[in-house]
Amino acid sequence: MAADLTILYRGPLSSCNYACEYCPFAKHHETAAELATDRRALERFTDWVLNDAVGKLAIFFTPWGEALTRRWYHDAFRRLSHADHIQRVVAQTNLSGPLDWLRDTRTDRVALWCTYHPSETSRTGFLTRCKQLQDFGIQHSVGMVGRPQDFDEITVMRAELPPETYLWINAYDSGDGTKFPYSPTERNRLTEIDPYFPTNIVDHPSLGRDCRTGRSVISVDGDGTIRRCHFVRTPIGNIYDPDWQSALTSRPCPNNTCGCHIGYVHMPELGQEAIYGDEILARIPQTRVLEDSTAIPNR
């Protein structure tokens, strides 16, 4: 069942235990006070979701850093997953933190978007953690950044993952906001592994186009400020205001383009909902689109 409202939560957490060279958010180490601020913000948000939000909800944690190494996010997952009105609880993660806490969640409501960074961890260790998720019954996708130096590792990872686990590939951005100019040969090689890779290397025209963000999908920060998505900074309300629902309305996109999966996936004209279905937040396709446009069950 689809949620009435999807909330992309991004609190003040901005630290990561990895230091990927292409990621600007992997270089900051937060103080104890900063971490305490993030914890208080998350606990307030979780209480609001459980006690004051209305309708069927899906929650997607998209931190500027790694959240699942912090136990307060484990606590939030447990509490949220057991609430009757929560359809899905999802997080982006590098999968480096402990996993046993997931046993205490409603595993049928939890899913993870897992990114493998070969410069930061071993393939064997990452695959072991994926096997744990499988054993726990946690739905998940696995992804990598399409850096040219990692092409061979991407190929090996695809071969070693279970066939039913989707391996997505993100376009490489060296840090200046420009996506890597893949050659036709490179593009074809990566598309053989991820049939949806061509969608991710395009900055999709979005100005004035319809998008579910701001209507049935919103971004919320640690102060409760509502924005339509992570990529439009104009506030439209605050979840802690009594009339917060008045912020939910259709709005054409004000940006020229949208090039991030967690943004463009909500543009109806791109047909992403038909691909991902109820697993749209965890980036798990429910169909595969072949060259003849025939949809078949995901392998």
Distances (CA, A) of 260 to 24, 230, 236: 16, 10, 21
Question: Residue 2 half-sphere exposure, CB side, CA atoms within 13 Å?
Answer: 9
Question: What is residue 197's predicted lDDT score, i.e. its pLDDT?
Answer: 97
Give the DSSP H/E element, type plus range, for residue 86.
strand 86-93
Are residues 116 and 123 in contact, defined by beta-carbon separation less than 8 angstroms?
yes
β-pairing, 57-61 vs 5-10, is parallel
Question: What is residue 1's predicted lDDT score, i.e. its pLDDT?
Answer: 53
**CA dist., res. 12 & res. 19, Å (int):** 19
Q: Mean pLDDT throughout 202-212?
A: 96
Q: What is the pLDDT of residues 96-146, one digit of tens each?
A: 999 999 999 999 999 999 999 998 889 999 999 999 999 999 999 999 999
Question: What is residue 14's predicted lDDT score, i.e. its pLDDT?
Answer: 84
Residue 214: CB atoms within 10 Å:
24
At 32, phi and psi to the nearest 5? -60, -40
Round the average pLDDT of the chain to a whole number and report it: 91
Give how many domains the chain has, as a whole number.
1
The conformation of residue 42, written as its DSSP 8-state character, comes to H
Going by pLDDT thresholds of 50, 70 and 90, the confidence category of residue 65 is confident
The residue range of the domain holding 46 is 5-297
Tokens of 56: 């069927």
Question: What is residue 23's predicted lDDT score, i.e. its pLDDT?
Answer: 64
Q: Using the predicted structure, report yes or no on whether residue 64 has a pLDDT greater than 80.
A: yes
Amino acid letter, residue 200: N
Question: What is residue 20's predicted lDDT score, i.e. its pLDDT?
Answer: 62
Are residues 217 and 4 in contact, defined by beta-carbon separation less than 8 angstroms?
no
Choice among 219-228, 249-258, 271-280, 282-291 with the minimum mean pLDDT: 282-291
Tokens of 120: 């930061």
Q: Using the predicted structure, report yes or no on whether residue 166 has a pLDDT greater than 70.
A: yes
Q: What is the pLDDT of residues 275-290, one digit of tens each?
A: 999 999 999 999 754 3
Q: Using the predicted structure, report yes or no on whether residue 185 has a pLDDT greater than 60.
A: yes
Question: What is residue 289's predicted lDDT score, i.e. its pLDDT?
Answer: 41
DSSP letter for each residue of 231-244: TEEEEEEETTSTTG
End-to-end CA distance of the chain: 22
Distances (CA, A) of 42 to 72, 75, 93, 299: 8, 10, 17, 36
